[in-house]
Amino acid sequence: MTFAVDHGNAKLTCVYKTNTGPFTTSLAVGECFSSYLAPSSGETLHASIAANMKILHPHMLSHLDQLFLLIKQTPKSTEHQYQGKKPDDLGVPYVRYTRNHGSDFVGHEKVNIGKAEVPGVSWKS
């Protein structure tokens, strides 16, 4: 597995070696957060999309009462992207989270949930 953080885009990318070749999964939070180089804080950034989402998801939802998680997949990758507004491209599957009404998964039939991390679906937040 290789691991990288793109500070300009606040994006975490993991590339896993599988029997069928590399599989890439990423988590972008650029609209909700920014990242920058700073002295060590002792905090842990996990080399796993789900482990980081379990920390970030409730925190982002505490600041944004409407939070969207876009999920784009190919046979070799899954991209997760958090944003504060409904996606412009309505063909992209997404989950809408709100504090009072839970979640709505739009386009779920297009998502291979076995290759995606979706709070409330692939694990409980």
Q: What's the pLDDT at 77? A: 95
From the list 87, 95, 86, 75, the residue with the least C-alpha distance to 22 is 75
Per-residue pLDDT tens digits for 101-117 = 889 999 999 999 999 98
Residue 40 resides in a domain: no
Residue 60 resides in a domain: yes
Residue 31 resides in a domain: yes
Average pLDDT over the chain reads 84
Query: For residues 13, 125, 81 and 117, what is the CA-based torsion angle, rounded to 10 degrees?
Result: 60
Residue 38: CA count within 13 A, CB half-sphere: 7
Residue 124 resides in a domain: no
Q: Using an 8 Å Cβ cutoff, are 116 and 109 in contact?
A: no
Q: What is the mean pLDDT of residues 68-96?
A: 93
Residue 122 resides in a domain: no
Residue 123 resides in a domain: no
Rounded to two decimals, the pTM is: 0.81
Per-residue pLDDT tens digits for 87-101 = 998 899 999 999 888
Residue 120 resides in a domain: no
From the list 84, 112, 88, the residue with the least C-alpha distance to 28 is 84
Domain count, the chain: 1
Which structural domain range is residue 53 located in? 2-35+46-115
